[in-house]
């Protein structure tokens, strides 16, 4: 049986006086107390002229009181993801006043008369921001009615399995997922809100050893759980929710095994609200099931259109993720269709990262990407003349530190690239495009010891020539051979193959070496031309190293058929 929800307009009036609605700072907060706290704050807010308030609280209970008081007093609440100086400055464009845990919150009038609880306006407004997007966060307006409808659907979908469980979270209530799951849903369904945003899973399990509990979590925590958590004593754990991004399968299965139940993952976004859910490990299926009332249909250009009760008037909504619909109504989730990537559940705009990099005079060209299989971003840069000078005089580490610091001032820390590739020129195709494959190739570990090629000259669609300087301080020159350093033949073949991967789509498997010829030694300081020709039909890569002195080496690499 799911719980009965309070009616939206009467929410404040109907809160049961004696029920424990929240645990805050170790003490229970009953319905009567919440009503008093809201009335007192609403009275003060009503006496202040500002209409738009930036709301931030470290803890859930005061955030809930503040939100209800803003609505009760006819104000509009703006809920930013953090209270950092940059956020405060950006909020200043929309809000005349700040409420809660800010360095300098707006002074409220004192001695005002409490504003007694009345029906809440169904159109009362809350503005939220897209989760941690770098660049300009997008503001999204939600109506009280919309939020409440979403709560009703959550109760319908998941309420029966929860009983009277209290809610605790390791995600912030300052984002829509935490706000709905940690505060509004338990409040409207008569369950207890744990006010503190917990960091440590052990704290969550301690609560679950004392009573029934639903854990509002995210993949960031769930995929990094310590091995030694006391699961056995956490018998009260009724459900683990996860949202913000898909939970990797191995993390989902490990959790299901240890916790004795699979996490309920919820797929959605700030703009769309909840869309679907799944339980990997319980279902043997990683497909998503639409939430009640949600419909998905194929749209133009590979996009999927969403129709949902949470969308209000902006129907149908084209989703930013690639989606494969199944006949049984469930679906598989693919990659993003735009230049947004998720880094540990936070949206990051690659364009914004590139803009921030280009704003530094040391940078001439910039590409940001998420290297395959990694979370943190990588950046590929071509330095400007100023950047080259800086690198020569202060070194690569100092240059990158400077770029990191510049980015950290403008972007969320998580959006600052962790891996950097400084190249003489971006790897371009004959058509002048910079293919993602070539950028990705730069971050493969085998690429770490390749020399940096200069501009690529294409003589045909399948043939490219690049210039390479052979630095005298390459590791291969030391000890090979004493007194007469030369570039080993095996290194030449590695260079040819590795560099070819930036320009052509070579198979991953092994190859046979044919017609290998070494004409002339390659010495430190040599200026080489490397010509690469790729014949896809036969899987053959030809390479030749030349310099002013003539040919140095050449061979054919015949790749094996992929099995």
Partner 1 sequence: MSDHLEQELKELIITTLDLEEIGSDDIDAGEPLFGDGLGLDSIDALELGLAISKRYDVKIDADDKTTREHFASVRALADFVRNTRA
Residues that bind partner 1 (CB under 8 A): 196, 198-200, 202-203, 220-221, 224, 226, 344, 376, 396-397, 400, 404-405, 408, 412-414, 416, 418-420
| 57 CA to centre of own chain | 23
- Report the residue number, 265 or 412, with the smaller CB distance to partner 1: 412
- Report the residue number, 326 or 401, with the smaller CB distance to partner 1: 401
Query: Least distance to partner 1 from the beta carbon of 262, Å?
Result: 22
- Report the residue number, 143 or 404, with the smaller CB distance to partner 1: 404
**List of residues 6+ apart from 350 with CB closer than 8 A:** 339, 340, 341, 368, 369, 377
Distances in whole angstroms, Cα of residue 92 to Cα of each of 87, 96, 147, 258, 514: 9, 7, 25, 46, 68
SS3 78: strand
- 464 within 8 A of 454, measured Cβ to Cβ: no
| 29 CA to centre of own chain | 35
- Report the residue number, 224 or 512, with the smaller CB distance to partner 1: 224
Query: Least distance to partner 1 from the beta carbon of 408, Å?
Result: 5
Query: Least distance to partner 1 from the beta carbon of 397, Å?
Result: 6
- 317 within 8 A of 311, measured Cβ to Cβ: yes
- Report the residue number, 51 or 396, with the smaller CB distance to partner 1: 396
- Report the residue number, 421 or 437, with the smaller CB distance to partner 1: 421
Query: Least distance to partner 1 from the beta carbon of 201, Å?
Result: 8
Helices (H), 98-183: 144-158, 176-178
Query: Least distance to partner 1 from the beta carbon of 559, Å?
Result: 29
Helices (H), 339-488: 350-358, 385-394, 396-410, 436-441
Query: Least distance to partner 1 from the beta carbon of 513, Å?
Result: 31
Query: Least distance to partner 1 from the beta carbon of 414, Å?
Result: 5
- Measure CA of the first residue to CA of the last residue in the chain; give whole Å: 53
Query: Least distance to partner 1 from the beta carbon of 400, Å?
Result: 5
- Report the residue number, 202 or 523, with the smaller CB distance to partner 1: 202
- Report the residue number, 216 or 416, with the smaller CB distance to partner 1: 416
Task: Transcribe 494-530 into DSSP letters.
Answer: HHHHHHHHHHS---SS-EEEEEEEE-S---TT-EEEE
What the block records as the tokens of 558 is: 């015949």
């Amino acid at each position: 049986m799911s719980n009965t929800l309070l009616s939206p307009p009467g929410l404040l009036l109907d809160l049961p006086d004696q029920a424990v609605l929240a645990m805050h700072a170790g003490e229970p907060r009953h319905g009567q107390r919440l009503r008093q706290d809201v009335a007192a704050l609403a009275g003060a807010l009503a006496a202040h002229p500002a209409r738009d308030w930036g709301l931030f609280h470290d803890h859930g209970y005061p955030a809930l009181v503040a939100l209800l008081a803003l609505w009760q007093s006819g104000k509009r609440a703006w809920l930013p993801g953090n209270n950092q100086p940059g956020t405060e400055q950006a909020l200043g464009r929309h809000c005349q006043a700040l409420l809660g845990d800010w360095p300098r919150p707006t002074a409220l009038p004192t001695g005002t008369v409490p504003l007694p609880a009345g029906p809440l306006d169904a159109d009362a407004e809350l503005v939220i921001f897209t989760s941690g997007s770098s660049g300009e966060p997008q503001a999204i307006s939600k109506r009280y009615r919309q939020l409440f409808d979403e709560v009703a659907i959550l109760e319908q979908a998941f309420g029966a399995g929860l009983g009277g469980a209290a809610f605790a979270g390791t995600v912030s209530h300052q984002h829509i997922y935490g706000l709905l799951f940690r505060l509004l849903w338990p409040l409207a369904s008569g369950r207890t809100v744990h006010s503190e945003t917990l960091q440590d899973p052990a704290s969550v399990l301690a609560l679950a050893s004392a009573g029934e509990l639903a854990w509002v979590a995210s993949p960031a925590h769930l995929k990094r759980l310590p091995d030694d958590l006391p699961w056995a004593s956490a018998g009260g754990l009724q459900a683990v929710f996860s949202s913000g991004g898909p939970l990797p399968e191995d993390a989902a299965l490990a959790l299901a095994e240890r916790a004795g139940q699979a996490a309920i993952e919820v797929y959605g976004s700030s703009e769309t609200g909840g869309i679907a859910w799944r339980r990997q490990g319980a279902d043997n299926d990683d497909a998503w099931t639409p939430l009640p009332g949600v419909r998905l249909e194929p749209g133009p250009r590979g996009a999927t259109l969403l129709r949902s009760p949470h969308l209000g008037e902006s129907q149908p909504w084209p989703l930013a993720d690639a989606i494969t619909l199944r006949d049984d109504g469930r679906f598989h989730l693919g990659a993003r269709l735009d230049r947004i990537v998720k880094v540990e559940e936070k949206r990051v705009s690659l364009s914004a990262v590139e803009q921030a990099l280009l704003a530094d005079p040391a940078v001439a060209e910039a590409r940001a990407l998420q290297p395959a299989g990694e979370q943190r971003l990588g950046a590929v840069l071509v330095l400007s003349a100023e950047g080259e000078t800086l690198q020569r005089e202060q070194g690569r580490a100092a240059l990158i530190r400077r770029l990191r610091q510049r980015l950290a001032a403008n972007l969320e820390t998580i959006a600052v690239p962790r891996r950097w590739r400084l190249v003489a020129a971006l790897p371009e195709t004959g058509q002048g495009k910079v293919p993602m494959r070539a950028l990705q190739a730069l971050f493969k570990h085998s690429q770490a010891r390749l020399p940096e090629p200069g501009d690529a000259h294409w003589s045909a669609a399948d043939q490219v020539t690049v210039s390479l300087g052979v630095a005298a301080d390459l590791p291969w020159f030391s000890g090979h051979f004493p007194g007469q350093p030369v570039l080993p033949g095996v290194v030449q073949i590695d260079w040819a193959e590795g560099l070819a991967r930036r320009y052509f789509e070579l198979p991953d498997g092994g190859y046979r070496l044919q017609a290998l010829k070494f004409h002339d030694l390659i010495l430190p300081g040599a200026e080489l031309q490397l010509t690469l020709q790729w014949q896809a039909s036969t899987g053959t890569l030809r390479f030749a190293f030349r310099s002013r002195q003539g040919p140095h080496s050449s061979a054919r690499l015949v790749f094996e058929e992929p099995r």
